[in-house]
Structure 1
Amino acid sequence: MIRYAITSRALYPGSEHDKQIALLAEASHWIADHIDFIQLREKDLPAASLTVIARKLLQTIHLTSSPTRLLINSRPDIALATNAHGVHVSSSPDELTPTQVRDLHTSANQPVPIITTSCHTLADIQRAHLHQVDAILFAPVFEKPLPNQQTIPGQGLDELRAACLAAAPIPVYALGGVTLENAPSCLEAGAAGVAGIRLFHRSPEHLS
């Protein structure tokens, strides 16, 4: 089962400095645990801060000879600047396409990046197919709570199954409301792995 962890320093208390320290500690734990992918998803951070965090994580991956791969959310420029392993792009028409991201790396004489993308519909999956992405995050599979006590309804396992069939041979990772308890049902539906934020984050008191 592929494990795809997504960062969120907002889960941790304290100052901005405290949150970034906690993020690095959590991600270092993932790297030591050989989690397959880490998506650095801190959209509100300036480029300089993202670059510093990415370089520290890549250094940890290198020093520990971990197979973990670091992807930068929606920032191919940061991925290029840090030699990260790849980029995650959304299905938004405002973002660069996976093909454009690859072209950027080619122009910079950089290796072909790993590219994952978010998909919410079968139409999204068809577009991902056209761009030959490396993996698809299909979401939300299960009901997802929001900070304002509302929820986003999940699409369910039948939709996940349909997404996996439509995406083949591109692997699909289930995202949205995935827990240790329901992860096996995602694999039974055809997912190659699971992705999440809270799924992988430990509580602050367990960070060291």
Structure 2
Amino acid sequence: MTPPFARLAAPLRFYAVVPSADWVGRMVDAGASTIQLRNKQLIGSALHHEIERSIAYARDSRSHLFINDYWVEAVECGAYGVHLGQEDLASADLVAIKKAGLRLGVSTHSIDELAHALSVQPSYVASGAIFPTTTKTMPTEPQGLVKLREYVRQAGDTPTVAIGGITLENAPEVLATGVSSLAVVRAITEASDPAAVVAAFEALWTESA
């Protein structure tokens, strides 16, 4: 059996998914435990520079940054971790990612996809969409909390992230499933006071401690 990917240096807790390095900087300043740079527009040197800037913002902070999809650039720039979709697992050089010491997160949308993700022994797995979301077109119907509980049990000791339609209002019931982390996009990027939203989400773990 191949060795697992690097373990997380700290619990994922609140997980902000944002579109730019500037947003990464805002999330670092707000104290988000985990941040993902998900940028679908930039390519080439502009993308490389955006990833470098994002990593620089997160360096020496309490925030841990994952780069969505672009594993080559993540390795080259010395990122903390990379997040891949199911379709990326076949094409990405998982050995190179592992040798570079990056953490790996993998998206899943079903029991079968979760089993496939767990087979590569990632640092964490993400499940969604839990609730309806307009952020992107999903390959499956919303999973709901009953399935999320099943996924958490199936993942065992591997940390789990819930994503898709999560808000401050429904966050407590999502956390009650035993999931390790809550990831959001619009709850941050469309907020009038993103820093306050980060603080409110992060407090959910403080309150349950």
Same structural fold, with TM-score higher than 0.5 when normalized by the shorter chain: yes
Does residue 75 (structure 1) correspond to residue 64 (structure 2)? The answer is no
Q: CA deviation at 1:128?
A: 1.4
Q: In 1, Cα distance between the equivalents of 2:134 and 2:102?
A: 32
- Bigger-Rg structure (1/2): 1
| 2:43 equivalent among 41, 46, 53 | 46
Does residue 35 (structure 1) correspond to residue 32 (structure 2)? The answer is yes
Q: CA deviation at 1:24?
A: 3.3
Q: CA deviation at 1:106?
A: 5.7
Q: TM-score, normalised by structure 1?
A: 0.78
Alpha-carbon contact 2:65-2:80 (below 8 Å) kept: yes
Within a 5 Å distance, the mapping from 1:126-205 to structure 2 comes to: 126-145=115-134, 153-203=141-191
Alpha-carbon contact 2:21-2:51 (below 8 Å) kept: no
- 1:173/1:27 CA distance change after superposition, 3 Å: same
Q: In 2, Cα distance between the equivalents of 1:38 and 1:186?
A: 19
% identical aligned pairs: 24
Q: CA deviation at 1:164?
A: 0.5
Aligned to 1:6: 17
Alpha-carbon contact 1:89-1:95 (below 8 Å) kept: no
- 1:205/1:192 CA distance change after superposition, 3 Å: closer
Gapped regions of structure 2 (runs ≥ 5): 1-11, 196-209
More moved, 196-205 vs 185-194:
196-205
Report the residue type matching 1:3 in the other structure.
F
- 1:57/1:146 CA distance change after superposition, 3 Å: closer
Report the residue type matching 1:104 in the other structure.
A
Secondary structure of the corresponding residue to residue 144 of structure 1: coil
- 1:114/1:162 CA distance change after superposition, 3 Å: same
Cα RMSD (Å): 2.5
Secondary structure of the corresponding residue to residue 186 of structure 1: helix
Secondary structure of the corresponding residue to residue 190 of structure 1: coil
Secondary structure of the corresponding residue to residue 199 of structure 1: helix
Secondary structure of the corresponding residue to residue 187 of structure 2: coil
Aligned to 1:104: 96
Q: In 2, Cα distance between the equivalents of 1:92 and 1:45?
A: 20
Aligned to 2:4: none
Q: In 2, Cα distance between the equivalents of 1:195 and 1:162?
A: 18
Report the residue type matching 2:175 in the other structure.
L
Secondary structure of the corresponding residue to residue 6 of structure 1: strand
Secondary structure of the corresponding residue to residue 27 of structure 1: helix
Per-residue CA deviations over 1:51-79 (Å, capped at 9, x if unaligned) read 111211222223xx312122111111110
Q: In 1, Cα distance between the equivalents of 2:192 and 2:15?
A: 20
Per-residue CA deviations over 1:94-130 (Å, capped at 9, x if unaligned) read 7435xx32x11466xx3x1110010000111111111
Q: In 1, Cα distance between the equivalents of 2:147 and 2:194?
A: 35
